[in-house]
Amino acid sequence: MVRKVNPPQEHQPLPLFTAAVSAMIQLDRTAAIPLYRQIYERLRTAILEGELAEGTRLPTERALAQELHVNRTTVMNAYNELASEGLIEGHVGRGTLVKRNYLVHDLEDEPYEQDMPSWLFSLSAEEELALGHDARLMGEITSLGEQQEVISLAAATPAEALLPAEMLSRIVEDGLLQERQSALGYCPVEGLQSLRREIAQRMRQRGVAVDWQHILILSGSTQGIGLIGRFLLHPGDEVVVEVPTYLGAIQTFRALGRV
């Protein structure tokens, strides 16, 4: 006699409509807190308090962005924060599911009090003195840029429609698979030699004669401005910038004692 045994059924995520999730999230577009952070905090609270049960399927980034009238990148950043805490997890073919982090939940149930050390007060005061107005202004500008009807030039990033997010994701995935451990390790301070050689080759194709050894890979424009300030400027030199300009440049020159 042959007995047929049915395979165990795969856990099916609980359906949750986009409108139901968006109803949980009340965005304050006038607040200094970035919109992605507001979305993250509301969903995080809903997960930890059981409003969103484990296995609940969240809306896609695009669908929730449309419902909340924000950029898709805003929702993506919120989801990334939740994923980094182990509260949600993406599955191919099943979407993004709630994965309740019991460790975080248990820790939050126990009140933990600790006095702020004196050195931290000093650090906060120095930071406020050095960056005070600029830091607050940058926060306000960044928050305004997350509103859908605003075209923000603050972050110097391309429009979402021009950003090939899917292609970049595949490139990163392919790079990790090909380079393995070396892709996650340290590289020379001047940048990967293979990348510098490739950049030099492309520049030569465009008629720019350059040796790959003369190319530096930087972490961003602020680092580049800092290097220029250290090597080309002297105390007392004047720096001319446009108005408006990049606040990071002003802060960098000010930190170098050049402004």
Residue 94 lies in a domain: yes
Report the percent of the chain where pLDDT is more than 70.
74
| pLDDT at 112 > cutoff 90 | no
| pLDDT at 125 > cutoff 80 | no
Residue 121 lies in a domain: no
Phi, psi of 115 (to 5 degrees): -70, 140
Instruction: Give kind and range of the element (H or E) at residue 149.
Output: none
Identify the three-state secondary structure at position 221: helix
Contact indicator for 64, 75 with CB cutoff of 8 Å:
yes
Structure tokens at 8: 């165990």
What's the pLDDT band for 145 if we cut at 50, 70, 90?
Answer: low
Instruction: Tell me how crowded residue 130 is: count the other CB atoms within 10 A of its CB.
Output: 12
pLDDT for 134 equals: 62
Residue 4 lies in a domain: no
Whole-Å CA distances, 136 to 25, 32, 132 = 25, 9, 6
pLDDT (mean) for 6-20: 51
| pLDDT at 79 > cutoff 70 | yes
Instruction: Quick: pLDDT tens for 34-73.
Output: 999 999 999 999 888 888 888 888 888 888 988 899 998 9
R_g over Cα of the chain: 24
Contact indicator for 249, 240 with CB cutoff of 8 Å:
no
DSSP assigned state of 57: E
Report the percent of the chain where pLDDT is more than 90.
15
Q: Which has the higher per-residue pLDDT, 144 or 199? A: 199
The total number of structural domains that make up the chain: 1
pLDDT for 8 equals: 40
CA distance 142 to 126: 23
The CATH code of the domain that includes 56 is 1.10.10.10
Starting from the edge strand earliest in sequence, which strands make up the sheet with 95-98, in order?
Answer: 57-58, 95-98, 88-91
Residue 27 lies in a domain: yes
pLDDT for 36 equals: 92
Residue 36 lies in a domain: yes
Instruction: Quick: pLDDT tens for 199-231.
Output: 999 999 999 999 999 999 998 888 899 998 888
Q: Which has the higher per-residue pLDDT, 169 or 163? A: 169
Rounded to two decimals, the pTM is: 0.44
CA distance 161 to 241: 30
Q: In 6-162, which ranges are E strands?
A: 57-58, 88-91, 95-98
CA distance 235 to 206: 37
Q: Fill in the amino acid letter for 139.
A: G
Residue 42 lies in a domain: yes
CA distance 258 to 255: 8
User: How are beta strands 57-58 and 88-91 bridged, if at all?
Assistant: unpaired
What CA dihedral angle connects 220, 221, 226 and 228, to 10 degrees?
Answer: 120
Residue 86's domain spans which residues? 18-109
pLDDT for 11 equals: 44
Most confident of 154-158, 186-190, 245-249: 186-190
Contact indicator for 57, 103 with CB cutoff of 8 Å:
no
pLDDT for 183 equals: 73
Q: What is the mean pLDDT of the chain?
A: 77
Residue 165 lies in a domain: no
52-61, 96-105, 173-182, 185-194: which range is least confident on average?
96-105
CA distance 202 to 206: 7
pLDDT (mean) for 229-245: 85
What's the pLDDT band for 194 if we cut at 50, 70, 90?
Answer: confident
Residue 71 lies in a domain: yes
pLDDT for 196 equals: 94
pLDDT (mean) for 95-106: 66
Give the CA diameter of the chain: 96
